[in-house]
């Protein structure tokens, strides 16, 4: 039995996603997002777990939607890290860091943020070139990136009793 990351199941889907809409319906996922509050930035267990979940969602989306690349975003507080997920020519699945961006807290922090707008534009170009519908139409792949895994062992789908919802 092949276990998949079911995006219709609330306990096994990411916090957000990038999608392509066709006839008012989601035709495919082109990116996935996990978000954590700023006070959890030092909780490496949860932040690394989120990154692993993102990699699993990206791997599944890469195979299911036959796209060239999947955009992966991890936001921890005001810091956003962007990753790309694709398959190397050797056949290995690779998730690589594209960039880090810090969002402004106040108007005082806005000028340095404006200096990073070029980075955001480059991220948009990356998405348009490699993660969009036209990029997925040109994609030719030899083998799927997804390996049969028991995702329930990796994706913690049970709400902990001592955790308050954010």
| pLDDT value at residue 11 | 58
Compute the distance between CA of residue 35 and CA of residue 50 in angstroms, rounded to an integer: 8
What is the C-alpha separation between 69 and 139, in angstroms, rounded?
Answer: 9
> pTM, whole model, 2 decimals?
0.71
In the block, tokens 């006070």 appear at 39
Question: What is the per-residue pLDDT for 76?
Answer: 93
pLDDT > 80? residue 4: no
Kindly report, residue by residue over 59-110, the tens digit of the pLDDT. 888 888 778 899 999 999 999 999 999 988 888 889 999 999 999 989 998 9
- Cα–Cα distance measured from residue 55 to residue 78, given in angstroms and rounded to the nearest whole number: 21
Q: Which pairing describes strands 70-76 and 79-87: parallel, antiparallel, or unpaired? A: antiparallel
Query: E-strand spans in 23-128?
Result: 25-36, 70-76, 79-87, 93-102
* DSSP calls for 103-126: --SSGGGHHHHHTTHHHHHHHHHH
Residue 5 burial (10 A CB sphere; 0-12, 13-18, 19+)? buried
Q: CB–CB of 59/149 below 8 Å? A: no
Q: Name the nearest CA neighbour of 155 among 64, 18, 66, 55.
A: 55
In whole angstroms, give the CA distance from residue 23 to residue 133.
14
| Domain extent listing, the chain | 10-141
pLDDT tens per residue across span 12-51: 778 888 888 888 888 888 889 999 998 988 888 888 889 9
More confident residue, 157 or 132: 132
pLDDT over 70 for what percent of the chain? 73
The tens digit of pLDDT for each residue in 98-138 reads 999 999 989 998 988 888 888 889 999 998 888 876 544 55
């Amino acid at each position: 039995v092949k276990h998949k990351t079911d995006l219709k199941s609330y306990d096994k889907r990411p916090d957000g996603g990038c999608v392509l809409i066709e006839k008012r319906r989601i035709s495919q996922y082109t990116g996935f997002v996990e978000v954590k509050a700023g006070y959890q930035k030092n909780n490496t267990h949860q932040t690394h777990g989120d990154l692993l979940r993102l990699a699993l969602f990206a791997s599944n989306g890469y195979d299911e939607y036959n796209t060239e690349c999947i955009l992966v975003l991890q936001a921890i507080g005001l810091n956003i890290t962007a990753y790309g997920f694709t398959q190397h020519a050797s056949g290995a699945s690779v998730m690589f860091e594209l960039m880090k961006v810090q969002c402004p807290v106040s108007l005082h922090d806005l000028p340095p943020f404006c200096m990073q707008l070029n980075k955001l534009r480059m991220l948009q170009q990356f998405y348009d070139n490699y993660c969009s519908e036209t990029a997925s139409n040109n994609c030719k792949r030899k083998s799927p990136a997804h390996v049969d895994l028991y995702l329930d062992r990796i994706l913690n789908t049970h709400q902990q009793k001592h955790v308050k919802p954010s």
